[in-house]
Amino acid sequence: MATWNSRGLRGSTLEEFINRTNEIYQENGLALIQKIPTPITPINIDKQTRHITLAYFDQKSTVDYIGAVQGIPVCFDAKECNTDTFPLANIHEHQVAFMENFEKQGGVSFFLLSFTKRDEFYYLRLDMLLEFWKRAKEGGRKSFRYEELDPEYFLPRQRGVLVPYLDALQKDLLRRD
């Protein structure tokens, strides 16, 4: 069973960046995206600071974020990678199943990846992830490389927006029509 401190706070910087981006999008009337908290049960609590020092996850989480962009339901998960190879083991089958079902209901699902070594963000479309997922299921590589990604979906730096994913979402929507 995974415990809260076994994974440290990986991804917390990326999530802070995404949370701030979502605040900016909401302030400008562009999107309403909420962070979905992962339900935990505390095991140890530091009595002086009242901080949880050990906990376990109550249930499998689905995605990190869910909401709407200009009336379009969206859900996404945030992942960090400190090399040019992203292990598919970092994405769980129940997450993929949720995202596929979300899309069947008319929503858009994607991943926001942070390649920390390169200081770059990437919008990974669900259909592209499913290609990598299928390859792994068929006995192929259980990861994908930075070079395999579609260059159009790297997120360019923008002033005032830390993880500017709305333009990539727009490209994703246009290719679906």
Torsion 107-74-119-96 (CA) sign: negative
**Is 49 labelled a binding residue?**
no
For residue 13, say whether it is annotated as part of any ligand binding site. Answer: no
User: Does 77 carry a binding-site annotation?
Assistant: yes
CB atoms within 10 A of CB 98: 19
Strands of the chain, DSSP E: 31-35, 40-45, 52-57, 65-69, 72-81, 85-87, 108-115, 120-125, 143-145
Q: Which residues pair with 79 in a beta bridge?
A: 113
Q: How far apart, in Å, do the first and last CA atoms of the chain sit? A: 42
Q: Is 62 annotated as a binding residue?
A: yes
Phi, psi (deg, nearest 5) at residue 63: -130, 165
Q: Residue positions in the annotated binding site?
A: 62, 64, 77, 95
Binding-site residues from annotation for Mg(2+): 62, 64, 77, 95
